[in-house]
């Protein structure tokens, strides 16, 4: 069988994929023109598929994506095809959950204020602090990332509530689990609201003016999912009006966040540049997922992390 990698990967990843099976002929190409020349003979691929590539992919049966979210990857012809698509679900969960707890701890201990005062050499101590064991963590989306966030919240002795789009069994460390239709209940009860949902047509601007008005005035919104899940204009207005206490934001509708955006100057906003998923083992984990799935494909077994393509269109 023939396996295409596009765009090309480094030597370490290439060697790992080449070692999977003698039955696999691996093609590692730099650009789409090279990929177009050979895609007609390819059985499986790792990387990015385009409409032009798909139109010529007569034998293609499986694509492994190099990412977890697929909103910029999917297009109608791919969704309608019989090709199996798998993603990188799970390799970022612990990194992102740690990032979320970083936001929560900074807000709880007033570090977002103390850091600004440090730059001013200001010794003032009048910063309110939050006792996390008295607070409720609301997790929107209890997938891999949301579950990791919920576990950490429970470990901090917080009450944990969550919503999920599909019915799942409630984990022991979650105090209440509701359908997404009860999002308003979560927003009204939570002291920290964390968006952990993927970007799909259903989650586009899921958090907008109406939802923000459901939150406590003392609550914080954290978004580590996708920028378009939160209506940034509505969030900015809510922060300016003091309708919520603050926000921890790693993702934005437009990235980079424009330098003149008012969020940069807000003391109660923590901004990170889409780095929540970063970690020392991410590259190794990505290789492990691809090689394991390639072995399964060669053996005629179902690959892991198969996604519902129609969910993304």
Do 298 and 215 share a domain, yes or no? no
Q: In whole angstroms, what separates CA 142 from the centre of its chain?
A: 12
Do 103 and 76 share a domain, yes or no? no
pLDDT digits (tens, 9 = 90+) for 284-295: 999 999 999 999
**Strands, DSSP E only, in 110-204?**
136-140, 159-164, 176-179, 192-195
Least confident of 67-76, 83-92, 292-301: 67-76
- Residue 255 is a catalytic residue: yes
The CATH number of residue 150's host domain is 3.40.50.720
Do 38 and 110 share a domain, yes or no? no
Do 12 and 55 share a domain, yes or no? yes
Do 212 and 194 share a domain, yes or no? yes
Least confident of 30-39, 53-62, 67-76, 252-261: 67-76
**DSSP assigned state of 256:** S
Catalytic residue chosen out of the listed positions 61, 274, 285, 295: 274
- First-to-last CA distance in the chain? 30
Torsional sign, CA 129, 132, 138, 142? positive
Q: Which of 93, 84, 17 is nearest to 281 (CA)?
A: 93
- Residue 72 is a catalytic residue: no
Tell me the Cα Rg of the chain: 22
Query: How far is the C-alpha of 193 from the C-alpha of 152, rounded, in Å?
Result: 14
H-type alpha helices, the chain = 11-18, 32-38, 51-56, 76-80, 93-109, 111-119, 144-155, 183-189, 209-214, 232-240, 282-298
Do 264 and 302 share a domain, yes or no? no
Residue 235 domain boundaries:
93-271
Domain count, the chain: 2
Query: How far is the C-alpha of 225 from the C-alpha of 163, rounded, in Å?
Result: 15
Do 257 and 292 share a domain, yes or no? no
Q: Which of 187, 180, 102 is nearest to 136 (CA)?
A: 187
- Residue 116 is a catalytic residue: no
pLDDT digits (tens, 9 = 90+) for 179-194: 999 999 999 999 999 9
CB neighbour class for 17 (10 Å; exposed up to 12, middle 13-18, buried from 19):
buried
Across the chain, mean pLDDT equals 97
Do 101 and 171 share a domain, yes or no? yes
Residue 313 predicted with pLDDT over 80: no
Do 100 and 133 share a domain, yes or no? yes
pLDDT digits (tens, 9 = 90+) for 94-124: 999 999 999 999 999 999 999 999 999 999 9
Q: How confident is the model at residue 232 (pLDDT cuts 50, 70, 90)?
A: very high
Do 136 and 252 share a domain, yes or no? yes
The predicted structure's pLDDT at residue 92: 96
The predicted structure's pLDDT at residue 311: 78
Do 104 and 211 share a domain, yes or no? yes
CB neighbour class for 117 (10 Å; exposed up to 12, middle 13-18, buried from 19):
middle
Catalytic residue chosen out of the listed positions 112, 159, 226, 286: 226
Catalytic residue chosen out of the listed positions 240, 255, 267, 288: 255
Query: How far is the C-alpha of 102 from the C-alpha of 220, rounded, in Å?
Result: 13
Sheet holding 84-86, edge to edge: 25-28, 2-6, 44-47, 62-64, 84-86
- Helices vs. strands in the chain: H and E counts, helices first: 11, 12
Residue 3, beta-bridge partner list: 26, 44
Do 141 and 58 share a domain, yes or no? no
């Amino acid at each position: 069988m023939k396996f295409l990698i596009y765009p090309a990967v480094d030597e370490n990843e290439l060697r790992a994929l080449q070692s999977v099976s003698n039955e696999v002929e691996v093609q590692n190409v730099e650009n789409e023109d090279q990929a177009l020349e050979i895609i007609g003979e390819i059985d499986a691929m790792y990387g990015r598929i385009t409409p032009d590539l798909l139109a010529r992919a007569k034998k293609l049966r499986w694509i492994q994506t190099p990412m977890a979210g697929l909103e910029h990857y999917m297009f109608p012809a791919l969704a309608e095809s019989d090709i199996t698509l798998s993603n990188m679900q799970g390799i970022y969960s612990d990194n992102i959950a740690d990032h979320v707890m970083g936001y929560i701890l900074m807000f709880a201990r007033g570090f977002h204020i103390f850091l600004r005062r440090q730059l001013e050499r200001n010794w003032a101590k009048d910063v309110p602090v939050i006792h996390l064991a008295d607070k409720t963590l609301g997790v929107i989306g209890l997938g891999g990332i949301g579950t990791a966030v919920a576990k950490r919240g429970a470990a901090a002795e917080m009450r944990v509530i969550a919503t999920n789009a599909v019915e799942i069994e409630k984990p022991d460390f979650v105090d209440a689990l509701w359908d997404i239709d009860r999002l308003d209940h979560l927003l009204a009860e939570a002291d920290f609201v964390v968006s952990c949902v993927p970007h799909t047509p259903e989650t586009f601007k899921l958090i907008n003016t109406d939802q923000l008005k459901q939150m406590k005035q003392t609550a914080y919104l954290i978004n580590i999912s996708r920028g378009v899940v939160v209506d940034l204009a509505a969030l900015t207005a809510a922060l300016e009006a003091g309708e919520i206490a603050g926000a921890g934001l790693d993702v934005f509708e437009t990235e980079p966040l424009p330098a003149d955006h008012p969020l940069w100057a807000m003391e109660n906003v923590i901004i990170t540049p889409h780095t929540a998923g970063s970690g020392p083992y991410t590259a190794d984990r990505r290789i492990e997922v691809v090689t394991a799935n390639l072995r399964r494909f060669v053996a005629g077994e179902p690959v892991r992390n198969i996604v519902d393509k129609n969910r993304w269109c």
